[in-house]
Amino acid sequence: MPDGVDLASLKVLVIDDQEFVRTIVKKMLSQLGVGTVIEAHDGNSGLDVVSKEAPDLVICDIQMRPVDGFGFVRQLRATPAVSQTPVIMLTAHTDATTVARAKELDIGAFLAKPVLPPALKDKIIKVLNHEAAL
């Protein structure tokens, strides 16, 4: 592949507390040719899944309960075995404060809701190629 990312070999974790959002993102990832898509319904369960499954990438909503996306990423970055896992945040909030918090936590990219497949693919490729996407 010219972009250097083999989507078919990827394992992607989708974390969102809204099942319909997880379903939509999962369907898009499948349409893009992502090999394995796993799900979690909040930051706590997401951390458990990351530890067990070691995904290549996490796509995570910011606004969740009881642990929001930033709390999840803080815990992820503090867990040595998985601290380098790339993260794309799903959000409706792309204000300067949110972007600044994301940079502090080494989040690879933001993806504004509603998510569109071309933008999703572009962000995945940029993040996995370690290109700045924020």
Q: Does any domain span residue 126? A: no
Q: Does any domain span residue 18? A: yes
The pTM of the full predicted model, rounded to 2 decimals, is 0.93
Q: Does any domain span residue 36? A: yes
Q: Which residues contact 65 (CB under 8 A, 6 or more apart)?
A: 17, 42
Range of the domain at 35: 7-100+107-116
Q: How many domains does the chain have?
A: 1
Q: Does any domain span residue 23? A: yes
Interatomic CA distance for residues 78 and 117, integer angstroms = 31
As given in the structure block, the two tokens for residue 83 are 């601290």
Q: Does any domain span residue 30? A: yes
Q: Does any domain span residue 127? A: no
Q: Does any domain span residue 123? A: no
Judge contact between 65 and 42, C-beta under 8 A. yes
Q: What is the CATH number of the domain that holds 26?
A: 3.40.50.2300
List per-residue pLDDT tens for the chain, 134 residues long: 446 889 999 999 999 999 999 999 999 999 999 999 999 999 999 999 999 999 999 999 998 888 899 999 999 999 999 999 999 999 887 788 887 888 888 899 988 888 899 999 999 999 999 886 66
Q: Does any domain span residue 121? A: no
Q: Please state whether beta strands 87-91 and 36-40 pair in parallel, antiparallel, or not at all (unpaired).
A: unpaired
